[in-house]
Structure 1
Amino acid sequence: MTAKLYDLELSGNCYKVRLLCALLSVPLEIIPVDFLSGAHKKSPLIELNPFGEIPIFQDGDLVLRDSQAILIYIARKWGGENWLPTDPAGLARVSQWLAVAENEIARGPNDARLHDKFGYKLDVERARTNAVRVLGLLEKRLAKAQWLELGRPTIADIACMPYVALGHEGGVPLDGYPAVTSWVDRVKALPGFIGMPAI
């Protein structure tokens, strides 16, 4: 049975799921969601995810919300040890970056993009300040490492890359962050890579 993704093309969180499935050659039925009309907050999607958000991922009887949780599932089911190891140290090292994607990156470059591209009412100066901070931390990390953890691509990179690469849509370009730019290019060079608008 083919897994289903309830999807918005312009969502970086939905893109993470599409990207990992493409890299792992996981068959995926993509079901576009009419986000502007609020379809994600109405039946039948609100029954699948009471939080009223997308992506929603369905594999048989299993329904998952939250892009980071979905990445974990896909990596363990189809990606083996390479994308998400099971040893305690490796698992924790990858997982700490999933938290960065959900927090510092979401409240930084993602929020700035939500303000500029989609007109969300939020504190864009705070978002850009947050973005500069997390980009500085990423630059320092990636100046001495090809990948965020374990010396190879993992779901840490898939979780963190999209909204960093989309930052220019929120007034947070990657000029001045050469190590981050090179890392984005390495992700783009992975076999099976697919893009999204603006990436």
Structure 2
Amino acid sequence: MSTPASLLLYGAAGSGHSYKVRSLLLLTATPHRYQPIALDTPRVERPADFVAASHFGEVPVLVDGGTAYCQSNAILLHLAQRTRAFCGAAAEGSAILEWLFWETNRIGFSVPNLRFALRWAPQPAEVLAYLRERAVTDLATLNETLASSEFLVPSGPSIADLACSAYLFWLPEAGLAEEDIPHVSRWLDSLRALPGWVHPNEAMASP
């Protein structure tokens, strides 16, 4: 069994995928080291220890006791099991997995890509329209679900919420407004109120 001090997280400022993991570590007060990776540095020029740990050359990567874990939602599952926190009730495992897979293909694709296109990589109007339509559709799905549920599973906040919300604290940067999705807005406020919650701009800054 590894010790908490053995945890090392590689992440990046502006990365909601990295923020998911960092947020869980902060919310659970899990001791760890955080090492930011500059994503504008060519992959071959990034730190050798990160290159060795990152199977896909991407952030986030969590190194736990010498074992590297890649892909944000896989890391969340590992940490939920490790900390016994934000893992939901036993009967909610399937629902949490559904939300994690949905996030990967839907809101974890649409909102960050729309944000990236608006902030850093200008795209043709038709591409922006496509990304915006997908993002609005995905936010509507969340808003409808949260109209009758405080969090995504009945027992309370879980890694499903951390995954699906990660990029939504940057909604204005994607040209989207919380007031258009009131149930999502209320949910985000509930997450902000959790003890230990930190905004991604602060959480992902260099230590």
Provide the TM-score with structure 1 as the length reference: 0.90
Q: Relative contact order (C-alpha < 8 Å, sep 6+): which is higher?
A: 2
**Counterpart residue number, 1:142:** 146
Taking only the aligned residue pairs, the percentage that are identical comes to 28
**What SS does the aligned partner of 2:150 have?**
coil
Cα distance in 2, alignment partners of residues 8 and 54 from structure 1: 7
How many residue pairs were aligned?
196
Structure 1 stretches of at least 4 aligned residues deviating more than 6 Å after TM superposition: none
State the secondary structure of the residue aligned to 1:147: coil
Cα distance, 1:185 vs structure 2? 0.4
Gap change, CA 1:25 and 1:184, over 3 Å in 2: same
> Letter of the aligned partner of 1:69 in structure 2?
A
- Aligned-CA RMSD value: 2.1
Code of the aligned partner of 1:84:
C
Q: Does the 8 Å contact 1:57/1:65 carry over to 2?
A: yes
Comparing 131-140 with 166-175, which one deviates more in the overlay? 166-175
Report the counterpart of residue 55 of structure 1 in structure 2.
Answer: 60
Partner of 1:96: 98
Candidates 6, 9, 20, aligned match of 2:13 = 9
In structure 2, do the counterparts of structure 1 residues 41 and 99 end up closer, same or farther at CA, with 3 Å as the change threshold? farther
Q: Describe how 1:87-126 pairs up with structure 2 within 5 A.
A: 87=90, 89-119=91-121, 123-126=127-130
TM-score by length of 2: 0.87
Report the 3-state secondary structure (helix = DSSP H, G, I; strand = E; otherwise coil) of the residue aligned with 1:35: coil
8 Å contact from structure 2 (residues 88, 155) kept in 1: no
Distance 2:114 2:173 in 1: 8
Q: Does 1:160 align with 2:164?
A: yes
**Which letter does structure 2 place at the counterpart of 1:90?**
E
Match of 2:25 in 1: 21
Q: Which runs of 5+ in 2 are unaligned?
A: none
